Amino acid sequence: METVLAFLIGFLYAAGVYAMLRRSIIKLVIGLMLMGQATNLLIFTAGGLTRAQAPLVEPGQTIPPAIHADPLPEALILTAIVISFGVLAFMLVLVHRAYQTVGTDDLDKLKGTDS
């Protein structure tokens, strides 16, 4: 399972970087999104995959069973998803305003402040 996920993460990173290197400003946003998702999956995989062992304390016990899935990576991913959701919303508005103000969606033409 880890191997499959590792390939998926690699593919998502590659797709994200490829989309970011395109000239269209919308593809830049899509690329950033893909990279964010790849990172979330990376945390998930690096945190260790344990199937069908919820970290729940059985009635009468004080600690969860010896083998249980670590819930912390999920908590981290959840936080990261919420943050990236907010950032994505901002990014879309920014891109829209930039398009309205500058009049182009070509990143090669957004060079007014470079030199």
Positions touching other proteins (CB under 8 A) are 20, 25, 28, 32, 35-36, 39, 42-43, 45-48, 70, 72-73, 76, 79-80, 83, 86-87, 90-91, 94-95, 97-98, 101-102, 107, 110-114
> Least separation, in Å, of the C-beta of 102 and other proteins?
6
CA gap 115, 98 in Å, rounded: 19
Residue 103 tokens, joined: 């009049």
Q: CB nearer to other proteins: give 5 or 59.
A: 5
Residue number, 59 or 66, with CB nearest to other proteins? 66
Cβ proximity to other proteins: between 60 and 112 the closer is 112
Crossing angle between the packed helical segments 25-46 and 72-102, to the nearest 10 degrees: 170
**Computed from CA positions of residues 85, 91, 92, 93, in that sequence, does the dihedral angle turn out positive or negative?**
positive
| Least distance in angstroms from the C-beta of 47 to other proteins | 5
- Cα separation, 14 vs 17, in Å, equals 5
